Amino acid sequence: MNFPFRKIALAVTFSPNALALLNETKKLQDLFKAELVLIHVGEQSREKEATFRQMVSNSKLTEGSYKVSWVGGEPSEAIIKKCVEEKIDLLVAGALEKENLLKYYVGSVARKILRNAPFSVLIMTTPSKEPKQVSKFCIAVDYTPEGETTIKKAYEYAKLENAKEIVLLREFQVPGLAMTVQDSGSISEVEDKMTQWQKEEEDKLSLFTKEMDIKGIKIKPVCLYGRQGWEANRYIHEIGGDILVVPGPRKKLKVFDRIFQHDMEFILKQLPGKFLVVKP
């Protein structure tokens, strides 16, 4: 049995979702047969330790099945540093589904981690105290080595979850479409071109899917034309997808990317229930 992640961490806070996140992480620990590190950013004190112990004792975690680390400093930097020290494969964290404009441009802790972490990150916006099966996996396809690694890890995760379906999502745009419309002046001609481009993308995705050799789970290849990130987010909400899995960006996202948006930034503005970014 292949396990996609062997050492995981949870960024623990004293938020209303803390207990649910602990229980969701316990499920992942059991699923992956993984080591677990609980990381809390803040000054350690007797009062906080007592609150922490009580919270953990109310969760599904068992005594001795985890390690606790108290760290100080700017939250996202402190969490990333500790995860690197502990050789973490996957960090689990909570996040608000939507943020106001100021918060978005400044960047929340979860979003800073997603942009800068060298390890995989799973963000949960709606964790449950009684974790449910992740039944429908939606995986972004980009035809790169990183993209193949992402699909393989998501497939391993899906098998362990006994998932019912994997949706492979390929978003595409047509360069020069506006110019084609202007030059032809014919709506029917443009529609024919769009049908042709759609068919080419579907054939390419179908061939790629066969080469990935995914077995035992229903596979649904889907090509979406439109603005990257936005189309995937819309489609996942429409079909009731449980998780979106994407390959990590091949560069750190900067302020420039948040203004002239990188495809992942559309997803970050309104996260699905579970959002997994896979990094090498």
What global pTM score does this model have? 0.86
132 falls in which pLDDT band (50, 70, 90)? very high
Average pLDDT over residues 113-118: 88
Most confident of 18-27, 207-216, 256-265: 18-27
Which amino acid would we find at residue 222?
V
CA angle 232, 29, 162 (to 5 degrees): 55
Average pLDDT over residues 202-219: 88
What confidence tens digit (pLDDT) does each residue in 211-225 have?
A: 888 888 999 999 988
Could you give the domains of the chain?
1-129 (3.40.50.620), 133-280 (3.40.50.620)
Q: Helix 18-32 crosses helix 46-57 at what angle (to 10 degrees)?
A: 60
Percent of the chain with pLDDT over 70: 81
User: What are the beta bridge partners of residue 168?
Assistant: 139, 221
Which residue, chain included where needed, has tokens 């964790």?
Answer: 127
256 falls in which pLDDT band (50, 70, 90)? very low
* pLDDT value, residue 94: 87
237 or 87, greater pLDDT? 87
Residue 176 has pLDDT above 80, yes or no: no
Residue 106 has pLDDT above 50, yes or no: no
Residue 259 has pLDDT above 60, yes or no: no
Strands ordered across the beta sheet of 243-247: 67-71, 35-41, 7-11, 90-94, 120-124, 274-278, 243-247, 136-140, 165-172, 218-225
User: What are the beta bridge partners of residue 36?
Assistant: 8
- Could you give the CA distance from residue 81 to residue 100 in angstroms, rounded to a whole number? 28
* pLDDT value, residue 104: 42
